[in-house]
Amino acid sequence: MPAELIVTAHYTQDADTLFEKASSFADIFETSPTFLTFDGLPALPMVQCRTYETNLGVLGLFKTHDYAIRIDTLSPVRRRVQSSSQGKGVKTWNHTLDVIPADQGCVWTDHVSIDTGRMTPIYARYARFMYLHRHKRRGAASITSTLRKSNAGLSDNAMY
């Protein structure tokens, strides 16, 4: 059963500056936990409609080979990145990232839909940890998160 994760972070930085960072894989390398590796992923700006292949590694113990990340939307005007990913063990990992100007800074929202079959609750909890960690490393002023089962026939209160 799919899970939905929403992480909202408030920053004192300018929205355009932060979006420029967000639209580069270099930001993922700089802000991810040290035990997470992305072999073969370039530390370059993302390109819309391009698919990137990587081998994900966690703690050197778990590897997801041939993991594909497709950048479906990259809009600097809207400050939005939408990606769809999949690989061994991951049916879907769809991510929408929005950076919106706000008083004295901006708000960055990650909306992630994850389906890894029976492992979804574990992957979803890991995703929450990872996205929270990234926002802390970027220096977010405040961060909130919501994790729940997908609305496909379930109430909004069904939490993982």
How many structural domains comprise the chain? 1
Look up the CATH number of the domain holding residue 27: 3.30.530.20
Predicted confidence at residue 9, as pLDDT, reads 98
**Global confidence as pTM:** 0.87
Q: Which residues contact residue 153 at a Cβ distance below 8 angstroms, ignoring those fewer than 6 apart?
A: none
Distinct helix (H) and strand (E) counts, the chain = 3, 8
Altogether, the residues listed in the chain come to a count of 160
Give the SS3 label for residue 150.
coil
110: nearest Cα among 123, 96, 124 = 96
Per residue in 89-131, pLDDT tens? 889 999 999 999 998 999 999 999 999 999 999 989 989 999 9
| Residue 23 in domain | yes
DSSP bridge partners of 110: 7, 97
What span, in angstroms and rounded, lies between the C-alpha atoms of 108 and 98?
Answer: 6
| Residue 109 in domain | yes
Per residue in 24-75, pLDDT tens? 988 988 888 777 777 778 888 899 999 998 877 666 566 666 888 999 999 9
What span, in angstroms and rounded, lies between the C-alpha atoms of 98 and 79?
Answer: 6
| Residue 46 in domain | no
| Residue 62 in domain | no
Domain that holds residue 81: 3-33+74-149
